[in-house]
Amino acid sequence: MNTKSVTFLSNNIPIAANLYLPQGKPAGALVVGHPGTGVKEQAAGLYAQLLAEKGFITLAFDAAYQGESGGLPRGLEDPAQRIEDIKSAVTYLQTIYDNNIGVLGICASGGYGVAAAATDHRIKAIATVSAADIGRQFRNGGDGKQSMAVIQGMLDMAAADRSAKEPGSFPLFPTEEQAKAMGLHVYEGWKYYCTDQGQHPRSAKAFQWRSVELIAGFDAFRFADMIAPRPLLMITGSNAVTTWMTAAAITTAQSPKEHYIIEGATHVELYYKQPYVNRAVEKLQTFFNDKL
């Protein structure tokens, strides 16, 4: 396997990516999207490397406004741009592999990938791992139990930020003590992004307040039924509190579709932890070999 650093444009924003090239004839080509606060060197890079070892050309990239990619202001999370990034990544892969191309989205990129596939027929198969619709995440919380007062309060702050002399940002992670008090899901996310377990110096630690307005009205799975007859695979852990979002997507989508559950895994453990990641990769290999 060979790895190359490459750049492509998305709405004229330079997007930094790592291209993984397998030995021998490729089994297919895959765009791999990272979680909402991640970068290409974390979970997306791990899956891209492992799938390249299975024979796929893979492309893991940093979202616009984040990581090594361009775009101002820094730390903006724009769902429309994130979807465009995926589509632009497909365009880039077409320049080196003129054949069927699939998309793998992890966490928030799972939601963005579903939305991209709904309207881009060049995407021949879509898979997700620990999928999250960032709109539902902000409105309802990771477990779906958050009071609507939380997002309303954030929209108040976003409105105030619009009137400020200079735009500001909000932190994405609580303190360690706060994370522990907020339950296993939040604490696992804190450990992955804020300790040596998975942290990276370029991963996002704060978002622009404008992001809240862009996210609050977003619905990643609104048009999931438009993916068919192209296939959809969604992988979750049996212990993931976010599975309700995948269930919502599967309910909306039409066949062929599959919800594959990995016993024992949580949402975040599917980012990095063995043997869960290998089980996911084995399922993804079979899926993309069959569908591309």
Q: Mean of the pLDDT values across residues 239-245?
A: 98
Q: Mean of the pLDDT values across residues 70-75?
A: 97
Model confidence at 32, pLDDT cuts 50, 70, 90, reads very high
CB 57 within 8 A of CB 20: yes
What is the reported pLDDT for 136?
98
Beta bridge partners of 58: 20, 30
Instruction: Tokens for 276, please give them.
Output: 């869960």
Name 232's Cβ contacts closer than 8 Å, sequence gap at least 6.
114, 117, 125, 126, 127, 224, 249, 250, 253, 256, 257, 258
CA nearest 50: which of 87, 104, 124, 110? Answer: 104
What is the reported pLDDT for 266?
98
Helix 243-252 to helix 108-119 angle, to the nearest 10 degrees?
10
What is the reported pLDDT for 178?
96
Domains in the chain: boundaries:
2-139+217-291
CA nearest 196: which of 40, 42, 37, 34? Answer: 42
Show the DSSP H helices in 164-227 as ranges: 176-181, 184-194, 210-216
Instruction: Tokens for 114, please give them.
Output: 């579903």
Q: Mean of the pLDDT values across residues 259-283?
A: 98
What is the reported pLDDT for 242?
98
Q: Is residue 122 over pLDDT 90?
A: yes
Model confidence at 29, pLDDT cuts 50, 70, 90, reads very high
C-alpha 50/C-alpha 238 separation (Å) is 22
C-alpha 110/C-alpha 221 separation (Å) is 10
CB atoms closer than 10 angstroms to residue 75: 20
CATH topology for the 2-139+217-291 domain: Rossmann fold (3.40.50)
Q: Mean of the pLDDT values across residues 162-169?
A: 94
Q: Mean of the pLDDT values across residues 41-60?
A: 98
What is the reported pLDDT for 21?
97
C-alpha 277/C-alpha 264 separation (Å) is 12
Rounded to the nearest 10 degrees, how much is the dihedral formed by the CA atoms of 220, 150, 157, 205? -70
Q: Give tens-digit pLDDT for 272-282.
A: 999 999 999 99
What is the reported pLDDT for 291?
96
Task: Report the percentage of the chain scoring pLDDT > 70.
Answer: 100
pTM, two decimals, is 0.97
What is the reported pLDDT for 105?
98
What is the reported pLDDT for 26?
95
What is the reported pLDDT for 98?
81
Mean of pLDDT over the chain: 97
What is the reported pLDDT for 99?
81
Name 126's Cβ contacts closer than 8 Å, sequence gap at least 6.
102, 103, 104, 105, 113, 114, 116, 117, 227, 230, 231, 232, 233
Q: Is residue 290 over pLDDT 90?
A: yes
